[in-house]
Structure 1
Amino acid sequence: MRDLDVAVIGGGIGGLCLAQGLRRAGVRVTVYERDGTADSRLQGFRLNIEPTGGVALHACLPPALWEVLVATAGDPGPGIGFLDERMRPLVMIGEEDPGRDPLDPATGGHAVSRVTLRKLLLAGLDDVVRFGKEFTGMAPAGDGTAVTATFSDGTSATADVLVAADGANSRVWGQLHPEAGRAELPAVAVGGKLILTEENRRWLPERLLSRPNIFWPRRDFLFTAIFRRREQPEAIIDRLGDRVRALGLDLEHLLADSRDDDYVLWAYIAHRDTFPPGFGTMDRAEVREMLAARTADWHPDLRRLITESRPDDLLPTRFSAARPPGSRDHGPVTGLGDAVHHMPPVGGLGGNTALRDAQRLCAALTAVRGGEKPLLQALRDYEEDMLRHGFDTVREAVRNTEAAITRNALKRSAARGFFRACGAVPPLGRAVLN
């Protein structure tokens, strides 16, 4: 057995998932997070956890916390629908799939609250996470066997391994690979959510309330998903409270702020050159009015989904994608998630890829601790896999974004025709789109 001391820079979902896995495997780990408190980032839209991310969370979290996560999440619904802007189906994929066990990480999907996910990933790590630690630089030891990180408060920390998990503007990865940077994409998006009420449940179409949907209009792009939790906190506490207390944790405290409203998420994506020049300075009510005008000929229920969403819940954003790094020989320093392979959010691939990285890196460092592989070789093997898979996923997300925003009428018409053909010939749809 080899003693290891791992320093993780950044307390997002990837860094915390790694810390949970290392703690569970008996590897000493410390997370350095620049935010001042644990609740500094308890906001944002929910996350779709696909099997890639589910397998990672299942491997790294204590079993009882995995069950709590599944219970507090929502079921995203069977398959995914492709429709036009008048809500006419083009093709439906996966509707015929048998019912899936949500506790099976390899098949289940989960619409996860960011608030709850972050609290569960922090659970039991009070002695691991250091808040208010803004990374400023790093330097290797003279013999290359350790690395020292420095922070803005004048402190420093030396570890056997340093992990960049500090997001898309990573200072750690930027110091290692200043040539990498990012490419701006010609896409803009507006995310929104319509909070579910008794009144709007009566007019919302069932397909918006039951599954994810991709709308392929003659211009632009719309994605919708339903976020409706499986169980209420009281029922979860009754069922799982004793198992969580056995970990030394208070489930009531963990779920105290998890009573999220259920809602329909939507994301409208377009080419930036088709938006008004002053889009970046428009207030959110003006953004909503602009989208209402752009969707004047869409199905009334889709327009209503957008126009009845509260302006305060709208999130305009621009897209970018990381560039692959150059040289990779940098000793006991590596990275994961957006710090390395930031990507546009089309398809929800980024968070799941970060969780996959965390699981793979945890396995690599656990093997080093067990004497199965030398540290630097384990890091090189991990990074080769992480970079290959990560940038394959970046390219997939970029291709999806480019398809969504293309202004080429022939390409858009061909895509709609292709989806219709897949719908008319189910074996073709299953072969190509599943």
Structure 2
Amino acid sequence: MKPLRVLIIGGGIGGLALGQALLAGGVDVQIHERNQSADDWLQGYRINIHPHGARALHDCLPTPLWQAFLATSVTPPGGISFRTERLRELMTIDRDAMTGGSDDPADGQYGVSRIVLRRLLLTGLDHVIHYGSVFDHYTVGDDGVTAHFTDGTTATGDILVGADGANSRVCAQYLPGAARVDTEAAAVAGRLPLTPATRAWLPEALTAGMMMLMPPSGRRTLFTSAFAGREQMAKAVQDGELAAAGVDIDTDLLLDGLEDYVLWGMIAHHEDFPAGLSEMDGVERRAVCTEMARGWDPVLARMIAESHPENVEMLRLKHSTLLKPWPSTTVTVLGDAVHNMPPVGGLGANAALLDAAALAEELLRGSDPVAAVAAYEKRMRDHGYAALRESVTNTRRAITPNVVSRRMGRVFFRGMKMMSRLRRRSGGSAAPADRRSPQESPAR
């Protein structure tokens, strides 16, 4: 029997993780990426890989690459802390609570360089990835699914997977009802370098992990996440751990562009940002956010004011439309292509990794391809849509103008903090998170 032929459109985190898993399983994989080379990806903020995302990544990667991932990824010590605008602690979810107390690295939480993660995922895929391959549309015939590219070339496989991001052309053809819609929120993000000078005045809450800050009034929330991993990365390079895993990466370039920093994001109702924010430069955006932090703990305004202006970016937060189940075919989608979500909570990359692991598992069972896609899409809707709902709910809470709701949130967190202390003494477990659903739409 001929091996299953799978075309993956898009070489982001989800598409590459899927490619690694399928290639290891003997599948004929071809990845088509619109960028001209791997070097086009040397940009972007670092991301947090949560335990479910780590487990999925572990399942997709060969052992040497998983070990290289562990060697180059930081284990944040602080979990996530919820605080007032004066930095008074309301509640902290520590690492043990986030990982379930597991000692297995595959259940861990990690701060990851996007650049390094993509390089790891590209390792061993040189012969199956095609750069400068811009997808236009697909057709289905007796010989399979054919992808048509803007340069006139084509590629045919048994399965076509759209892993081409938030503005997916594959999804636009396959599930036209899954269009992205605006939330009422926008965000400005920046980063402050973590140096001996900045560490001297930054409190530990801002340098040890993640923090969510919601003031008692106003339609805004501040999120921060510390990424400190250059020393660990340098040691991994020095010890030859990347080379041992076969990772093809310019380590000098990598270390030159890698700095420790605190990422911050000001999330607010889009009407509370000045008109023309998207056209402003980094200095102007930084000044807007510094003013929005007026009256908070002075260290927060200073953190924003001293951030690199060239890294201060603005985005309008959107999310994909949730669809009712649709008839499965030999085409499917994963990650942002089908459940793009606001970055509030950092669930997007983790959901894409879960998709990749689930789709690989179903395709490698050896069943009928359409049945495999159907099983995957059910799983994807379960976990991907749950993450989308949670992100949308988090975004709504972040910008709510309801003073009572905000103050009750503080009471809730203080209560949870007290209950957490009691649980630790009694050996009890935490309650499940509340999830509310945006409206769902039919697939066709």
Q: After superposition, what is the alpha-carbon deviation per residue over 1:259-288, rounded to whole angstroms, capped at 9, x for unaligned?
A: 210111111101111111222222221111
Deviations 1:390-433 (A, max 9, x none): 11211110000000000111111111121122223335786247
Query: Are residues 1:316 and 2:310 paired?
Result: no
Indicate yes or no: 2:380 matched with 1:386: yes
Q: Give the stretch that moved more between structures: 170-179 or 5-14.
A: 170-179
Residue 105 of structure 1 pairs with residue 103 of structure 2: no
Q: Report what 1:88 is aligned to.
A: 88
| Range with bigger deviation, 320-329 or 183-192 | 320-329
In the TM superposition, residue 237 of structure 1 has moved relative to its aligned partner by: 4.6
2:57 counterpart of 1:57? yes
Residue 417 of structure 2: which of 395, 420, 423 is its match? 423
Q: Residue in 2 aligned with 1:24? A: 24
For 1:202, give the aligned amino acid: A
Quote the residue 2:436 is aligned against.
none
Q: 1:12-411 residue pairs with structure 2 within 5 A?
A: 12-94=12-94, 104-106=105-107, 108-142=108-142, 146-218=144-216, 219=218, 220-229=220-229, 231-238=232-239, 240=241, 243-244=244-245, 249=246, 253=249, 255-259=251-255, 260-325=258-323, 328-368=326-366, 373-411=367-405
Q: CA separation in 2, counterparts of 1:432 and 1:160?
A: 44
- Take 2:418 and 2:291, find their aligned partners in 1: how far apart are those partners? 33
For normalisation by structure 2, the TM-score amounts to 0.90
Per the TM alignment, residue 238 of structure 1 is displaced from its structure 2 partner at its CA by 2.0
Q: CA deviation at 1:102?
A: 7.7
1:36 shift after superposition: 0.8
| Cα 1:362–1:292 shift into 2, 3 Å | same
Task: Report the alpha carbon displacement of residue 234 of structure 1 after superposing the two structures with TM.
Answer: 4.4
Distance 2:45 2:196 in 1: 21
CA gap of 1:22–1:255, structure 2 versus 1, over 3 A, is farther
User: Which structure is higher in RCO with an 8 Å CA cutoff and minimum separation 6?
Assistant: 1
Deviations 1:268-312 (A, max 9, x none): 101111111222222221111111111110101111111110111
Instruction: Give, in whole Å, the separation in 2 of the partners of 1:388 and 1:158.
Output: 30
Gaps of 5+ in 2: 424-428, 434-444
- Measure the CA separation in 2 of the matches of 1:102 and 1:11: 31
**Aligned residues, how many?**
422
How far is the alpha carbon of 1:96 from its aligned partner? Answer: 6.5
How far did residue 79 of structure 1 move?
2.5
Query: Deviations 1:162-195 (Å, cap 9, x if unpaired)?
Result: 0000001110110112222122100011111111
Supply the AA of the counterpart residue of 1:111: G
- What amino acid is the match of 1:105? A
Deviation digits for residues 312-367 of structure 1 (CA, Å, limit 9, x no counterpart): 11111111110134563252111100011111011100000000000111111111
Counterparts in 2 of 1:141 and 1:183: CA distance versus 1, 3 Å:
same
User: Cα RMSD between the aligned structures?
Assistant: 2.1
Instruction: Decide which moves more: 125-134 or 330-339.
Output: 330-339
Asked whether the 8 Å contact 1:115–1:257 carries over to 2, the reply is no
| CA-to-aligned-CA distance 1:117-167 (integer Å, 9 cap, x gap) | 11111111110100010011111014xx61111101111011000000000
Letter in 2 for 1:211: G
Unaligned 5+ segments in structure 1 are: none
**CA 1:165–1:237 in 2, change beyond 3 Å: closer, same or farther?**
same
Residues 123, 247 of structure 2: 8 Å contact kept: no
| Structure-2 separation of matches of 1:250 and 1:79 | 30
- The alignment's TM-score, normalised by the length of structure 1, stands at 0.92
